[in-house]
Amino acid sequence: MTVKIYDTPEVQDFLKTVAGLDQAGGTERAKQIMHRLLSDLFKLIDDFDVTQEEYWSTVSLLNALGGQTQFGLLSPGLGFDHYLDMRQDAIDAEAKRNGGTPRTIEGPLYVAGAPEAEGFARMDDGQDRDGETMWLTGQVRDVNGNPVAGAKVEIWHANSKGGYSFFDKTQSEYNLRRTIHTDSEGRYTARSIIPSGYGVPEGAPTDQVLKALGRHGERPAHIHYFISAPGHCHLTTQINLAGDPYTFDDFAFATREELVIAATRIEDPAEIAKRELEGPFSEVVFDIELDKTEAPELQVRHKRPRAKEDAQDQASQLAGTAEV
């Protein structure tokens, strides 16, 4: 027989004390959320008869996750990122913002401050010999089909080994990261390399959590986007390349039917010459539709700690050019 103490007055009073509900300082929201969180966890310990050993090995795992800054990696794996997207979709639907390309998770590997270009950019540094040449292009349009000129399209993706520059120190600075402003027809084009799928580091704390659930930590080959333009909703999304074994088995739950795109292999010498490439390549076409909005807060990405973003914010504020 297992003991049950959760519902006793001592435990209920104790939870209020721990959450600071009888103290004047702090913030009400922090207290309410901590009270609820601890209540749910205390109840769980009671219900599952959690042992001392289980509790302290969890503390140790949390330390390991934090020590290797892996909470950002585990978060999509445990579905938090997708859940926040589902909530945002519901908020948009309620506000009758129903148009536009679907959002999907940002992931933990964006780095602010990538080089900017007009219309076209080459994203790869030419060092990744295993990477097949990718011609990535598309048009940004509003919900009425009008091209959006001067839209800011930020793109980032992994190399042929599934690694991201900045986090993978073997790559050059800002490799496979660019910001492209659309041309007068709303078009952007990038020359890059086809990314490989990504997997969470083998044996790392994130991997340990997923393994305990009988799950893998693999993502299909994918390409991340931020798209913004004045008068339009900021869009955080990504495309998942068709045909990857993990396209519909993504540990981060980012795949959406409308965002699965096939790469087309092109070998016609005329098409190669037109793009000034050296040989056959794969073309990926991703057109983007942005919903309209007058609300300034919907026109920019949400705030979140991001690599290099703080330094950049400070620099642009000093220069008096901070984004709205």
294: closest CA among 252, 260, 324?
324
Of the pair 19, 176, the CB lying nearest ligand DHB is at: 176
Q: Which residue is nearest to Fe ion (CB)?
A: 107
CB 302 to ligand DHB: min, Å = 16
Say which entry of ligand DHB, Fe ion, none residue 76 contacts (CB below 5 to 8 A, set by partner kind).
ligand DHB
Give SS3 for 58.
helix
CB 55 to ligand DHB: min, Å = 26
Place of tokens 């799928």: 197
Q: Which residue is nearest to ligand DHB (CB)?
A: 107
Of the pair 70, 139, the CB lying nearest ligand DHB is at: 70
163 touches Fe ion by CB under 5 A: no
Q: Could you please report the per-residue DSSP string of 207-222? A: HHHHHHTT---EE-SE
CA 67 to mean position of chain CA atoms: 21
Residues near 124 by beta carbon (within 8 Å), at least 6 away in sequence: 131, 159, 175, 176, 191, 192, 193
What is the chain's alpha carbon radius of gyration, rounded to the nearest angstrom?
Answer: 23
For Fe ion (CB under 5 A), the number of binding residues is 1
Taking CB under 5 A as the criterion, the residue among 76, 100, 107, 220 binding Fe ion is: 107
- The binding site for ligand DHB (CB under 6 A) comprises 73, 76-77, 107-109, 198, 200, 219, 252
Of the pair 19, 74, the CB lying nearest ligand DHB is at: 74
Say which entry of ligand DHB, Fe ion, none residue 227 contacts (CB below 5 to 8 A, set by partner kind).
none
- Which chain residues interact with Fe ion by CB under 5 A? 107
